Structure 1
Amino acid sequence: MRRGRLSIAYVHYGSQSGVTAAIAAALGGRGHELRLVAATGDLEPRDPATRRLRPAPPVVAHLALAAARYGRLALRHRWNTTYAWDRHASRAGERLRALAPAPDLVLQNGALFAPGLPPPLPYALLLDHTRALAQASPPWPAAGLAAPVDYGPGWRAREAAVYGGARVIATFSANVARSLVRDYGVDRGRIAVVGAGANVFPDEAPRRDDGRTLLFVGKDFRRKGGPILLDAFARLRRRRPRARLLVAGPREVPPLPEGAFHLGPVATEELPALLAQATALVLPTLREPFGIAFLDAMACAVPCVGTRVEAVPEIVVEGVTGVLVPPGDAVALAGALERLLDDPQGARAMGARGRARVAERFTWARVAARLERALLRAAGGDAPGPRAPRRARSVPAARAVRPPAPHEAVLTLL
């Protein structure tokens, strides 16, 4: 390490909705040297370059084990077996050992594997979620969401161990920080809540909406509460027949009610122009690791309607930058939308406050500054080494989690 500048090996598993590139650029912009290390890819059933099937023995074994555990959900959860964890961890370790000169610190995105078996270098983690939080989510039959699958004790043990060996764990939210302490026994002193950033922040945020256009943005229509929104919108149209709904992101959607339009996938660079036409972003998500779509809307001065789920209340401040409703409640959602459309001045004021909030807290440059402090602290400290975390306990397939008190829901940024 030279004069507060780190050499960082950034271990990742893909674009992660733009997070990988944003973090790399923001830390690089602060003078740190980053080398990207891809740990995944060799187990994918198709060659990433030619897209041809490759029935190599590790790939066949990988898919067979996923099928044995997850059945028809095997492709979706193919990375969530202990075999995949160990293969990806081994590949990450091999690539890290090959780096010359060795970095000061490894920064790994997520906890789908360890940065080596065992990790050859001191490491930090950047997390948007934990498996304990994911498994705590209930089923949502109205949206076609079953209870989350259980990855099994082997996965949970590996996840706990990778948390236990990290010098520091940087989290997107206080929600994840609480889970690390409560569910995995991680010492609070090794956790830094750094937040996340909007993927767009235009120099200007003109409002060109017609006062009646609602916008949904998200690829996973069911998980993001799409079916609940369609129910709520149909209710809203009975009282506000001129209201319209734009659905951006998913490739396919169920039949839409009158006044709703499917736009399909939308590129990130197209979002500001689309958001300029929206009276409000409506994302009644049912399961949400963080919710960068809310930040993108706020960055464009658009008020948000979301749900009281996981980290969403840390982003959307009730009555200040938007409105929050209980998850899965179409009646409450329809009422909130009607009140918002009936108060255009209040909606504009929420949008303006949302843009100011993003500028103050949720740009990737500000995230990088907070992350930098955590990484510098980690690089200068003693590595804890692989160890079992204190008070770690197994995570049931689904359980209720006490909702945070209002003072606990505030995002504490370093």
Structure 2
Amino acid sequence: MRDTVNAVNTGEVSPKQGTSYRALFVTAGDFSHINAQMLQALQSEFPNVEFESFGVSERMQSEYPALFGCVLGTLREYGFSSLGSRALLRYRLFRSKAFFETVRRMLKRRFGDRGFDFTVQTQSLFSAALTGCPNFVYTDHVARARLADEDQDGTGQPSEVWLNCESEIYAEAEHVFTFGPKIRDFLLNDYGMAPGKVSAIGAGASVTPEREVDSSQERYGRRNILFVGVEWERKGGPELIKAFCQLRKTLPDATLTIIGCAPDVEVDGCQVIGRLPIAEMAEYFHRASCFCMPSRVEPFGVVFLEAMQFGLPVISTTVGDIGAIVQDGVTGRLVAPRNSAELAQALYQVLADPGTCREMGRAAQHRGRQFTWEAVVRRIAAHAPGAAERPAAEELRW
């Protein structure tokens, strides 16, 4: 089996029909529900691959000496200011050389002789590369892109030491898959990766409709704006409130529903729901007329894909890869970040005429169909051992 896989990787022979494979799926945390969705799609789409999953952060929490060593290493690398807040320590710990090397030793000790045919990891916080085993990385962000972002959460920037560790992840990878084209371009231009080793393959929606989406003009005429986000300020919540107040002067029947966080806002027509279980969110997408999350910083934004699945026009900003998801003037509107006046105008342009809103919603739903976790894992598997046995993956249209 190992000889066959090695031959496949070098292009010497084609894999035998019916060959089974073993793969390791390595994660850190739940990654905003992404890891569970991906593993389910991997197991569903490729029954000839036996996937074993391993969570490095969960394992670290149960190995106190290793965790303590990582904390000490983080303090040496970043300084005692790392103890300023839990969020700051967490951010730096996961981007420290101590964590990087601890995870490498952990994976080698636990899986180094298990004979996996390939490994898949989500996020670029560690390297899941095992000796003689191709590793595939799927990530929404890279550290050098962070250097250009605003420090919205007070966690600062990655260290030079970490930047070197992160470069090792990509150097050891068989292929790196990014959510969107902007991060792909960072890997090409700032990390010097070869074009043939990087692909922008999109993402999928964690919340999807389980009943038919209402595409009636009445739905879009209700003018209910939906916001879904945990980090109110980073997701542009303050700008949305200002824009909404301005919008109500011309469209007094417009309403706003806020899910995911509970900001202290007292504005007519605004309802704050707060955090909800993922199973309860679909109904709010069904009720909405459009989706608006005017992010200040956003690597990609899976929630935009979710909104599109429900036939919602998306109003957002031009940061990150949002412009690769939302087609300005077709599936929604894009404005500059932190500009509440432009945002109010964009909301008016989408909501003033229910027919226009409906047309954009239909276009968004059509575009959203290519963003699924099944499509994502097929694009990854097209580069993995046994690719010739599997149907060709649909190319993503950016």
Return the alpha-carbon distance in structure 2 between the equivalents of residues 218 and 17 of structure 1.
11
Residue of structure 2 aligned with 1:370, choices 371, 379, 394: 379
Following superposition, the deviation at residue 221 of structure 1 comes to: 1.2
Which secondary structure does the structure 2 equivalent of 1:88 belong to? helix
- Superposed, 1:5-404 pairs within 5 Å as 6-30=21-45, 31=47, 32-44=49-61, 57-58=68-69, 61=72, 64-65=75-76, 68-73=80-85, 74-77=88-91, 78-97=93-112, 99=114, 102-115=115-128, 121-138=133-150, 145=152, 149-202=156-209, 203-206=211-214, 208=219, 211-250=222-261, 252-359=262-369, 361-376=370-385
Structure with more helix by fraction: 2
In 2: Cα distance, 1:371 partner to 1:317 partner: 25
Deviation track 1:9-51 (CA, whole Å, cap 9, x = no partner) reads 011112211211121111211222211011123554xx69xxx
TM-score by length of structure 1 reads 0.81
Cα 1:312–1:318 shift into 2, 3 Å: same
Cα distance, 1:120 vs structure 2 = 6.4
Q: State the alpha-carbon separation in 1 of the partners of residues 225 and 52 from structure 2.
A: 41
* SS state at 1:230 partner: helix
Q: For the structure 1 residues 345 and 75, does the alpha-carbon distance in structure 2 shift closer, same or farther, using more than 3 Å as the test? A: same
Q: Which runs of no fewer than 5 residues in structure 2 stay unpaired?
A: 6-15, 390-394
The SS at the match of 1:41 is helix
Partner of residue 12, structure 2: none
- Contact 1:135/1:148 (CA < 8 Å) preserved in 2? no
Identity of aligned residues (%): 27
Measure the CA separation in 2 of the matches of 1:137 and 1:96.
Answer: 36
**Alpha-carbon distance between aligned partners in 1 of 2:66 and 2:302, rounded to the nearest angstrom:** 37
- Unaligned regions of 5+ residues in structure 1, if any? 140-144, 381-410
Structure number with greater CO (CA < 8 Å, separation at least 6) is 1
CA distance in 2, matches of 1:230, 1:98: 55
TM-score (norm 2): 0.84
Let me know the Cα RMSD of the aligned residues: 2.8
Deviation string 1:137-185 (CA, Å, 9 cap, x unpaired) is 246xxxxx37872211110001011101111111111111101001100
1:383 is matched with: none
2:338, 2:294 → 1: CA distance? 8
Structure 1 residues 36 and 345 mapped into 2: Cα distance closer, same or farther (>3 Å)? same
Contact 1:11/1:37 (<8 A) preserved: yes
Contact kept? 2:332, 2:350, Cα under 8 Å: no
Shift in Å at residue 340 of structure 1? 1.4
CA positional deviation for 1:63: 6.8
Flag the 1:9–1:337 CA change in 2: closer, same or farther, 3 A: same
In the aligned structure 2, how far is the partner of 1:220 from the partner of 1:146?
A: 9
1:387 match: none
Aligned length: 368
CA distance in 2, matches of 1:168, 1:314: 21
- Relative to structure 1, the CA distance from residue 305 to residue 89 in structure 2 (aligned partners, 3 Å threshold; closer, same or farther) is same
User: Residues 225 and 288 of structure 2 are in contact (CA less than 8 Å); yes or no, is this contact kept in structure 1?
Assistant: yes
